[in-house]
Amino acid sequence: QEQLVESGGGLVQTGGSLRLSCAASGRTFSNYPMGWFRQAPGEEREFVAAISWSGGTIYYGDSVKGRFTISRDSAKNTAYLQMNSLKPEDAAVYYCAVAYNIAAMQFGHGIDYWGKGTLVTVSS
């Protein structure tokens, strides 16, 4: 059974950093785009970042550009999200996702698999 498992969330102070991981199992996703979304309480799910299977194409949401970095290790079937200069408005549940098309993924479309999420809390 295909599964995406996020880890690395937690409590961090404003200006701090966290690194999220998304480990895929059940099949290899090395040929598919992977990405991150987030959802804060009472808010809609928001696109954060996506990376193509080769790593050659990357998209970021406007609110995280310059602060977050997405990467992947296809050999480990894992994607990462390095989050720096965290702000209180970054607090949310962060979800890993796999899609067939990276262009559609940034609009929340074409998502085939979702993880269950990891909570990020940023104290002010």
Q: Region 66-78: what's the mean pLDDT? A: 94
What's residue 74's pLDDT? 87
- The DSSP code sequence of the chain is --EEEEE--EEEETT--EEEEEEEESS--TTS-EEEEEE-TTS--EEEEEE-TTS--EEE-TTTTTTEEEEEEGGGTEEEEEE-S--GGG-EEEEEEEES-HHHHTTT-SEEEE---EEEEEE-
- Is the pLDDT reported for residue 114 higher than 90? yes
What's residue 78's pLDDT? 94
pLDDT bin (cut points 50, 70, 90) of residue 66 is very high
- Which pLDDT tens digit goes with each residue over 32-44? 999 999 999 999 9
